[in-house]
Amino acid sequence: MNTNIAALPRGHFDALRVRRIVERVFCGYTGALGVRLWDGHAILLGHDSPVATVVIHAATLLRALAWRPDVLRLAEAYFYEEIDVEGDLFALLKQKIHLQSVTMSMRDRLLLFSVAFFAGRDSARVKRENSSVRWSTPTLASTSRRHSKAHNREAIGFHYDASNDFYRLWLDEQMVYSCAYFNDPGDSLEQAQRNKLDHICRKLRLKTGERLLDIGCGWGALICWAAQQYGVRAHGITLSRQQYEYTQTKIRDLGLEQQVTVELRDYRDLTSDADFDKVSSIGMFEHVGLKNLPAYFRAVDRVLKPGGLFLNHGITDNETGRHNTVGTEFIHRYVFPDGELDSVSNVQREMERTGFEIADVEALRPHYALTLRHWVSRLEARQKEALGLVSEAKYRVWRLYMAGCAVQFENGAIGVYQILAAKRREGLVDLPLTRGDIYQ
């Protein structure tokens, strides 16, 4: 049956024209996605049942995207509730490979802009204007790659100092904010993070009385675990004031004042008179900056005894060197203002140039994908509590960020590795001939 467009209310007329434009633009789309417009019109893109539905609440978003197609503008539309997602967010994000083939002609852009231009007032704009969400400052975003001490402190504060209570909602009981270690896919997050802490201690072959330094100690999980379970004297450093204060309290509550210490310190300020048997760095070196990797590894070398072990755990990229993508711009603007990744081969090469002997390399990509899915699930389950601590926009940033990272790990776009190395000395390093002791 033909629709009499002239007889429809203006909103329906606009929606129908939008539908025709969108269907034409997506005519070669091979994915499966649903779109629902502000007046209830549904559009099915692809040929299968949609994996998720994008709900567009206002026509003016289309106007903005028609004028200047921008993935980050689309992300902000989600943050500010101009659009919503119904269904599987992870499956939606996996549609990226299909969406990359979609292009819009200038004619269609002009048509879409003209339709949206005459649409009604955008009610979502009020939420955007009144939102108190704090993005990365222009100064920090433009200069973070200098990785000065001042900018690193600001960047760490931007990411970590929002609220300990917010992180506590979706992290495990130990407050571990890095990739867990799943002995079985059915492990709980709590169990998997305990597995990870113990896995690190076993790899470092910690012994009673040894001195352990944890660079970027977070909320103190590893230094307290190593002291309690392995009898070491542990010291942690962090740039986050909230993490520092939390860890101090944790040390006192556990009665570990004689074994564990923590301080606010930049790794570049570690003094050469420090003398540690073992050094760990878990999920920290992503903040260092590519140009500072040599200085970072020299700092570790400076405080580690000859023959001492160093475990570096961090995210890597498949591409080498510095490069800009939509994903990196998203992270710099909304999540990690100073994050930079390199390939695992480049990281190992720089460690060897510094004088480290690589002893073991373990890939943990599937573990981080599982970890992030746990974090997203836990955040979603406690959404109401989260919104009592952060704005709706901030909640959506974290939900989208962590779900997107999970998909990146699952697709193999990024990786995460534990690299165990020893500070070179004459003769053999004091390590067992096999990995068997780690798994006993």
Q: Catalytic residue numbers?
A: 405
What is the identity of the amino acid at 99?
Answer: L
List, as own/partner pairs, every contact residues 365-368 make where C-beta atoms lie below 8 angstroms and the sequence separation is at least 24, other chains included.
365/409, 365/412, 365/414, 365/415, 365/416, 366/182, 366/409, 367/179, 367/180, 367/181, 367/182, 367/192, 367/416, 368/179, 368/315, 368/405, 368/406, 368/409, 368/416
Q: In the chain, what is the straight-line distance between the N-terminal and C-terminal CA atoms, in Å?
A: 72
